[in-house]
């Protein structure tokens, strides 16, 4: 007679299976598109999310830029102000898109909707939940960066070739901020902590070489600014939009890859603890 | 019974007392960040605007912009949550408090929150040694007016919606364009000719011009009266709209 010992652990499956990650992704997808109303609102919000960086680009690049007669030196290039500020705005919109997607929506789904507790009962590991959520944020925010890059091309700020390369780089920027954002959201104690995130984002936004070259700062401050993830993202996108493909790209790319790995590992550990695994 | 408007105000102040610490830090730190980054950093590349250094030129506008954003931001989740989640409005409804008392008490609270933000900004400027009497005296009045000018219609909007996601639409289609294209960071004359009339629709544009006129001593009775009259028109229109949307929501 064959008996099944229920206490025998199920043979451990590979920790991240593509099929299960896909299933979770599909669940996010159907959840977002559950009703016609939700879909309409999602579309409207998506449209507004596109207009935001474009408005900033117009105001800073054309408005403030019209007050600036000199060109801005970047390495060996002389850029007009809009050429200088546009890739930075692109990086900022990738950052804020990824942060709001990961932090706010991960937090809501985890703490308020209890979505991950629910999913994890279906033999899905925390790693799979994190990877699925991460991919979901990347897909959503990449659609926005694609439009922003297209606007830059139409505005004549960047050529088509460089724009395509820069677009690929935005996926890395979004992936890095989304991974770190998910990790940060597991640390938040409540809604009052979102204020800290907003202030931190504003500091990065204003002081990462977004609106003026960091050479304006004293030496010691320049060193600190270079540690900023937004500074590294801006450096990467700015170099790519002006066609500077050199060894200088190694540092920002390495930095962003490190953010991806560290952010994901940390998130998996934190979520695992939350879900009691 | 105490004046119902004051009772409503007391409720909002009580909530504020419990939560103010979270916002106090950003009240002081954000002006410093903006003035150093945009004013000094970007200003380093700009010679002069209308005969003033860039930092001097943007400061009055930034104060007005802070007031405008405070008025708008306070009147979004703050109003909707009273209807949807906290239920404060329902509680008020079961007392002799009338709808106009609810709105009036609420708006006085928004005004106080705005004046606190303006005071913090003025203190920052004073510490930097750049506060002029013209700015110090005019700021509370101009900023109070522009804050109410956007707070009243925003309150009406918040009482008319059910889903908080609409705030994103409001923030990005109305508040952000108004903030960016109202002559705070660059003169409106730099905009394409067909957009300039749109800028003058924004109450913030008028507040910015008022602030700048007072700060640089170029105010004339005529322009001051016209700008204030325009802001007042927004406040009155918004007030009636808010009364309509509150009434509609509470009597269905």
Element (H, E) at A141: helix A126-154
Please state the domain count of chain B.
1
pLDDT digits (tens, 9 = 90+) for B169-226: 888 889 989 999 999 999 998 888 888 999 999 999 999 999 999 999 888 999 999 9
A14 near B CB under 8 A: no
Q: What is the reported pLDDT for A191?
A: 63
Q: Per the CB < 8 Å rule, is A55 touching B186?
A: no
**Beta strand ranges found along B70-125 (DSSP E):** none
Least confidently predicted of A66-70, A115-119, B130-134: A115-119
In a domain, A31, yes or no: no
Confidence category of residue A271, pLDDT binned at 50, 70, 90: confident
Nearest to A144 by CA among A53, A57, A236, A55: A53
Q: What is the reported pLDDT for A170?
A: 96
Give dist(CA B48, CA A73) in Å, integer. Answer: 21
For range B89-107, the mean pLDDT: 87
> What average pLDDT does the structure give for chain B?
89
Hey, of A63, A71, A92, A104, which one would you mutate to test binding to chain B, going by the most B CBs within 10 A of its CB?
A63
Phi, psi of A14 (to 5 degrees): -55, 145
Hey, of A34, A53, A59, A189, which one would you mutate to test binding to chain B, going by the most B CBs within 10 A of its CB?
A59
Which residues of chain B neighbour A41 with C-beta distances below 8 Å? 163, 165-166
Q: What is the reported pLDDT for A1?
A: 46
Q: Give how far A19 is from chain B: nearest CA, Å.
A: 32
> What average pLDDT does the structure give for chain A?
83
Q: What is the reported pLDDT for B227?
A: 96
Q: Give how far A53 is from chain B: nearest CA, Å.
A: 10
In a domain, A263, yes or no: yes
For range A155-168, the mean pLDDT: 92
Give dist(CA A193, CA A174) in Å, integer. Answer: 22
Return the exposure string of A110-131: e unless at least 16 CB atoms fall within 10 Å of the residue's CB, then b. bbeeebbeebbeeebbbbbbbb
Q: Give how far B223 is from chain A: nearest CA, Å.
A: 25
Q: What is the reported pLDDT for A6?
A: 46
**Residue A79, beta-bridge partner list:** A72
Q: What is the reported pLDDT for A277?
A: 62
Give dist(CA B8, CA A269) in Å, integer. Answer: 47
In a domain, A36, yes or no: no
Q: Three-class SS of residue B49?
A: strand
A32 near B CB under 8 A: no
pLDDT digits (tens, 9 = 90+) for A172-183: 999 999 999 999
Q: Give how far B187 is from chain A: nearest CA, Å.
A: 8
Q: What is the DSSP letter of A67?
A: G
For range B127-153, the mean pLDDT: 93
In a domain, A8, yes or no: no
Q: Per the CB < 8 Å rule, is A63 touching B181?
A: yes
Which residues of chain A neighbour B22 with C-beta distances below 8 Å? 192, 195
Confidence category of residue A34, pLDDT binned at 50, 70, 90: low
Q: What is the reported pLDDT for A9?
A: 45
Q: What is the reported pLDDT for A124?
A: 77
Beta carbons within 8 Å of B113's beta carbon, 6+ residues apart = B16, B70, B74
Q: Per the CB < 8 Å rule, is B44 touching A52?
A: no
pLDDT digits (tens, 9 = 90+) for B16-26: 877 776 677 77
Q: What is the reported pLDDT for B1?
A: 56
Q: Three-class SS of residue A159?
A: coil
Tokens representing residue A254 in the block: 């390495």
Q: Per the CB < 8 Å rule, is A52 touching B49?
A: no
Phi, psi of A274 (to 5 degrees): -60, -35
Nearest to B196 by CA among B185, B186, B182, B208: B182
Give dist(CA A155, CA B12) in Å, integer. Answer: 47
Q: Give how far A189 is from chain B: nearest CA, Å.
A: 14
- pLDDT of residue A72 exceeding 80: yes
A8 near B CB under 8 A: no
Confidence category of residue B252, pLDDT binned at 50, 70, 90: low
Hey, of A39, A48, A205, which one would you mutate to test binding to chain B, going by the most B CBs within 10 A of its CB?
A48
pLDDT digits (tens, 9 = 90+) for B32-56: 888 888 888 888 888 888 888 888 8
For range A53-82, the mean pLDDT: 84
Angle between helical axes of A126-154 and A18-32 (0-180°, round to 10): 60
pLDDT digits (tens, 9 = 90+) for B58-72: 999 999 999 999 999
Confidence category of residue B80, pLDDT binned at 50, 70, 90: confident
CB of A136 within 8 A of CB of A178? no
CB of A50 within 8 A of CB of A58? no
Q: Give how far B49 is from chain A: nearest CA, Å.
A: 8
- pLDDT of residue A5 exceeding 80: no
For residue B75, give its domain range.
4-250
In a domain, A133, yes or no: yes
The B-side interface with A (CB below 8 A) comprises 19, 22-23, 25-26, 29-30, 33-34, 36-38, 41-42, 44-47, 49, 54, 163, 165-166, 168-169, 171-173, 176-177, 180-181, 185-186, 190-191
A39 near B CB under 8 A: no
- pLDDT of residue A8 exceeding 50: no
Q: What is the reported pLDDT for A13?
A: 45
For range B6-30, the mean pLDDT: 79
Hey, of A64, A73, A204, which one would you mutate to test binding to chain B, going by the most B CBs within 10 A of its CB?
A64
CB of A74 within 8 A of CB of A213? yes
For residue A224, give its domain range.
19-24+43-274
Q: Give how far B190 is from chain A: nearest CA, Å.
A: 6
Q: What is the reported pLDDT for B205?
A: 96
Angle, vertex CA B182, rays to CA A65 and CA B120, nearest 5? 100
Q: Per the CB < 8 Å rule, is B185 touching A62?
A: no
C-alpha separations of A17 from A13, A116, A175, A275 in Å: 8, 17, 20, 19
Please state the domain count of chain A.
1
Q: What is the reported pLDDT for A43?
A: 75
pLDDT digits (tens, 9 = 90+) for A99-110: 877 777 777 777
Q: Per the CB < 8 Å rule, is B45 touching A212?
A: yes
Q: What is the reported pLDDT for B153?
A: 96
């Amino acid at each position: 007679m064959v008996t099944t010992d229920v206490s025998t652990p199920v043979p451990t499956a590979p920790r991240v299976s593509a099929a299960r990650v896909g299933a979770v992704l599909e669940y996010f997808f159907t959840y977002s598109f559950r009703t016609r109303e939700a879909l309409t609102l999602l579309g409207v919000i998506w449209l507004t999310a596109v207009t935001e960086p474009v408005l900033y680009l117009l105001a800073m690049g054309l408005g403030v830029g019209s007050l600036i007669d000199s060109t801005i030196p970047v390495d060996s290039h002389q850029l007009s102000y809009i050429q200088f500020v546009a890739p930075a705005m692109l990086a900022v919109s990738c950052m804020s898109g990824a942060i709001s997607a990961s932090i706010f929506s991960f937090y809501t789904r985890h703490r308020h909707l209890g979505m991950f507790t629910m999913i994890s009962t279906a033999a899905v590991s925390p790693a799979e939940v994190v990877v699925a959520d991460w991919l979901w944020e990347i897909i959503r925010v990449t659609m926005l960066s694609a439009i922003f890059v297209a606007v830059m091309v139409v505005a004549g700020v960047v050529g088509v070739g460089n724009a395509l390369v820069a677009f690929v780089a935005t996926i890395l920027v979004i992936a890095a901020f989304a991974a770190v954002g998910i990790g940060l959201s597991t640390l938040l104690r409540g809604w009052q902590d979102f204020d800290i995130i907003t202030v931190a984002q504003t500091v990065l936004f204003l002081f990462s070489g977004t609106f003026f070259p960091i050479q304006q700062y004293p030496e010691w401050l320049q060193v600190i600014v270079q540690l900023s993830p937004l500074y590294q993202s801006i450096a990467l996108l700015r170099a790519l939009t002006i066609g500077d493909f050199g060894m200088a790209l190694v540092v920002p790319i390495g930095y962003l890859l490190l953010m991806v790995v560290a952010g994901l590992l940390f998130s998996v550990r934190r979520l695992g603890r939350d879900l009691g695994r | 019974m105490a004046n119902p408007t004051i009772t409503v105000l007391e409720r909002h102040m009580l909530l504020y007392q419990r939560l103010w610490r979270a916002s106090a830090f950003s009240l002081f730190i954000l002006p410093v960040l903006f003035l150093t980054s945009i004013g000094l950093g970007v200003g380093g590349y700009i010679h002069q605007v209308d005969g003033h250094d860039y930092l001097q030129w943007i400061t009055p506008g930034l104060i007005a912009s802070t007031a405008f954003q405070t008025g708008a931001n306070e009147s979004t989740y703050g109003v909707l949550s009273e209807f949807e989640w906290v239920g404060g409005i329902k509680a008020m409804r079961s007392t002799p408090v009338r709808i106009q008392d609810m709105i009036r008490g609420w708006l006085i609270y928004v005004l106080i929150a705005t004046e606190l933000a303006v005071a913090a900004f003025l203190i920052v400027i004073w510490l930097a040694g750049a506060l002029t009497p013209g700015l110090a005296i005019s700021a509370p009045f101009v900023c109070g007016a522009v804050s109410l000018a956007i707070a009243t219609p925003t309150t009406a909007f918040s009482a008319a919606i059910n889903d908080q996601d609409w705030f994103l639409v409001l923030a990005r289609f109305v508040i952000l364009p108004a903030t960016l294209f109202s002559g705070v960071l660059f003169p409106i004359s730099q905009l394409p000719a067909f957009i300039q009339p749109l800028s003058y629709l924004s109450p913030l544009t008028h507040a910015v011009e008022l602030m700048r006129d007072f700060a640089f001593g170029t105010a004339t009775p005529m322009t001051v009266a016209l700008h204030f009259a325009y802001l007042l028109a927004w406040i009155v229109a918004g007030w009636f709209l808010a009364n309509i949307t509150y009434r509609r929501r509470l009597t269905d």
